[in-house]
Amino acid sequence: MNMNEQMQQSEKSILHTYNRFPVVLDHGEGCWLYDTEGKKYLDFAAGIAVNALGYHYPGYDEALKAQIDKLLHISNLYYNEPMSEAGEKLVKASGMSKAFFTNSGTEAIEGALKAARKYAYAKGEKERYEIVAMNHSFHGRSMGALSVTGNEHYRKPFEPLIGGVKFADFNDLDSVKAQITEKTCAIITETVQGEGGIYPAKQSFLEGLRKICDEKDIILIFDEIQCGMGRTGAYFAWQSYGVKPDIMTCAKALGSGVPVGAFVLGEKAAQASLAPGDHGTTYGGNPFVCAAVSKVFDIFEKDHILEHVQELTPYLEEKLDGLVEKFDTVAARRGKGFMQGLVITGVPVGSVVTKALENGLLVISAGSDVLRLVPPLIITKEHIDQMIGILEKCLA
């Protein structure tokens, strides 16, 4: 079948909940993807910030193949070595206390919300169940995660959602304070808003949230699903602010390709929230995905992935700022590390994404007008130059 026939075949059997781009991707190598007809694409989307190590990174495939030969799944009724190793490395990297592995970022959010409510319940404060979330945030599409997603467009068709959720404005501490009551048990925010348009948190905002939560014994949850695992130059974006959450969620690049997420609890939340019987998952933490997580941490450390992001970020930002100066349709750049956004004006951002695809570059959008760049963390200056060249052609 040619590529068009393959797409038609997919539409016959797969529920149409995505308006997919007209390409059938077949394989990848390094920072490049290839479609079924042999055309290659420079990947600055990374499977929506998942493929931190690109494709076929040395040692990664071999670790997964070795685990396939040993054990794929046994359930959480038993211990398994890869889970223990991955958990230890995740706790060490985050400086937190206990981890729970899930199948996705959405499930990590669900666990974090349950842990926050259980924390208040365990202290005998059953009336404390309200959660303050941020406008323009995105935390997932399950009913719980959707309830704290600050975009009415996503929520409205599925209401009523879980109750007790209030919304404040991101980076506006007074707005958050206005939503807090004696019933508030948790505040949840992305450290860098992703789907909402690539907005990094302000230092004063995160510090203010931490102070409020300490004073009122409120659980502070940071969503690091997209901005975590090295994307901003630290394992987790909050670490560069020096503001530690009580609970953190992560996923996407955590396994760099396999479906895995986690929520990680600090000592306070770990000691007084979820207990046996409160939460579970059949597939979460199975040997296969945890072998991937463990190997990802090994590669990050051995090959200095975080340092590479830190060293190359100024060059990436300089080149993107050059597009802002050169083109009237690029109004601004914002972002942190390898999580960058260009604000597009005068033309639909979708048209730029499509034009880039036609010219062999994969980029995605965020919000209504932002071109999102979340490449593999292993890109080089040459890749950045190639990306800029293609974007200049598209924007011209």
* pLDDT score, position 261: 98
CA-atom Rg of the chain in angstroms:
21
Residues 27 and 162 in one domain: no
Strand pairing report for 330-336 and 339-344? antiparallel
Do the domain assignments include residue 277?
yes
Do the domain assignments include residue 52?
yes
Do the domain assignments include residue 229?
yes
* pLDDT score, position 304: 98
Residues 297 and 311 in one domain: no
Domain boundary residue, one of 250, 281, 302: 302
Residues 332 and 382 in one domain: yes
CATH number reported for the structural domain that contains residue 293 in this entry: 3.40.640.10
pTM summary value:
0.97
Residues 50 and 140 in one domain: no
Residues 232 and 293 in one domain: yes
Give the whole-angstrom CA distance, residue 63 versus residue 182.
Answer: 49
The full DSSP string for 5-74 is: HHHHHHHHHS---S---S--EEEEEBTEEEETTS-EEEESSHHHHT-TT-BS-TTHHHHHHHHHTT-S--
CATH number reported for the structural domain that contains residue 29 in this entry: 3.90.1150.10
* pLDDT score, position 202: 98
The sign of the torsion formed by the CA atoms of 171, 207, 210, 106 equals positive
Domain total in the chain: 2
Residues 259 and 281 in one domain: yes
> Which stretches of the chain are DSSP H helices?
3-13, 46-49, 60-68, 81-94, 105-122, 143-147, 152-155, 173-179, 203-216, 267-271, 287-302, 305-326, 349-358, 381-395
* pLDDT score, position 135: 98
* pLDDT score, position 44: 98
Q: Residue 108's domain spans which residues?
A: 71-302
- 10-residue block means of pLDDT along the chain (396 residues)? 92 94 97 97 98 98 98 96 98 98 98 98 96 98 97 95 97 98 98 97 98 98 98 98 98 98 97 95 97 98 98 98 98 98 97 97 96 98 98 96
Helices 81-94, 287-302: crossing angle, 10 deg rounding:
40
User: Which contacts of 278-284 are long-range, i.e. CB under 8 A and separated by 24 or more positions?
Assistant: 278/114, 278/118, 279/100, 279/111, 279/114, 279/115, 280/76, 281/76, 281/101, 281/102, 281/103, 281/107, 282/75, 282/76, 283/73, 283/103, 284/76, 284/100, 284/101, 284/102, 284/103, 284/107
Do the domain assignments include residue 153?
yes
Residues 115 and 253 in one domain: yes
Please say whether the beta carbons of 286 and 74 come within 8 A.
Answer: yes
Domain boundary residue, one of 249, 271, 302: 302
* pLDDT score, position 321: 98
Do the domain assignments include residue 28?
yes
Do the domain assignments include residue 232?
yes
Domain boundary residue, one of 259, 280, 302: 302
Residues 347 and 294 in one domain: no
Residues 156 and 201 in one domain: yes
Helix (H, G, I), strand (E, B) or coil at 365: strand
The amino acid sitting at 183 is K
Do the domain assignments include residue 65?
no
Residues 27 and 98 in one domain: no
Backbone angles phi, psi at 25, to 5 degrees: -80, 140
Interacting residues of 213 by C-beta distance below 8 A, sequence separation 6+: 187, 219, 220, 246
Residues 218 and 204 in one domain: yes
* pLDDT score, position 139: 98
Do the domain assignments include residue 64?
no
Residues 375 and 343 in one domain: yes
Tell which residue, 161, 195, 189, 190, has the closest CA to residue 176: 189
